[in-house]
């Protein structure tokens, strides 16, 4: 990937609503050249979408936690993402190597809500869980360098 494309990706990751004119000023390219590059980055799948950065505390879910799940039966079908897909508190679901099968990033309002969520996850997926509560976040979703 070209250096200029990396810069465009960094700029858009920081501000997905940045105009082509502003991208052009920041990269030294014309507006039309930036537009073409962004379109190519989208077509190649490097840009998969645009979204808003949310203040989860203000949205009523200040508590972030990571839940590692391990199946009780290793021979059971690996359909945990499907089983948990409708749980709105789960922000991300990663398949991982190691002792656990998946790690879930969740956001809830209170410790009691987390406790209730853990019970639901255990029941829905028939798994054991290990939970890590986030105390603070130094940085998150950093753009590529």
For residues 110 and 8, give the distance between their C-alpha atoms in angstroms, rounded to a whole number. Answer: 38
For residues 76 and 73, give the distance between their C-alpha atoms in angstroms, rounded to a whole number. Answer: 5
| 51-106 tens-digit pLDDT | 888 899 999 999 999 999 999 998 889 999 999 999 999 999 999 999 899 999 99
Per-residue H/E/C for 36-59: HHHHHHHHCCCCCCCCCCCCCCCC
| 122-136 tens-digit pLDDT | 999 999 999 999 999
For residues 131 and 138, give the distance between their C-alpha atoms in angstroms, rounded to a whole number. Answer: 20
User: Counting beta carbons within 10 angstroms of the beta carbon of residue 74, is it exposed (0 to 12), middle (13 to 18) or buried (19 or more)?
Assistant: exposed
User: What pLDDT, on a 0 to 100 scale, did the predictor assign at position 52?
Assistant: 84
Angle subtended by helix axes 20-27 and 31-43, to nearest 10: 100
Average pLDDT over residues 106-123: 98
What sign for the dihedral angle of Cα 57, 60, 63, 64? negative
SS3 label, residue 71: strand
What are the extents of the domains in the chain?
3-44, 57-134
Residue 141 tokens read as 């979703």
Per DSSP, 65 falls in state E
The yes or no reply on domain 57-134 and CATH 3.30.70.920 is yes
Architecture of domain 3-44: Orthogonal Bundle (1.10)
């Amino acid at each position: 990937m070209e250096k200029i494309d990396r810069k465009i990706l960094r700029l858009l990751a920081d501000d997905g609503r940045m105009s082509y004119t502003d991208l052009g000023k920041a990269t030294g390219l014309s507006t039309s050249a930036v537009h073409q590059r962004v379109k190519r980055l989208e077509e190649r799948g490097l840009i998969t979408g645009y979204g808003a950065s949310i203040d989860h505390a203000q949205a009523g879910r200040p508590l972030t936690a990571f839940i590692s799940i391990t199946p009780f039966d290793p021979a059971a079908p690996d359909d945990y993402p499907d089983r948990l897909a409708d749980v709105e508190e789960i922000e991300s679901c990663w398949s991982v190597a190691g002792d656990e099968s998946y790690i879930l990033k969740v956001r809830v309002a209170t410790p009691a809500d987390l406790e209730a969520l853990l019970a639901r996850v255990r029941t829905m997926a028939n798994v054991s869980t290990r939970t890590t509560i986030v105390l603070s976040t130094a940085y998150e979703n950093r753009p590529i360098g």
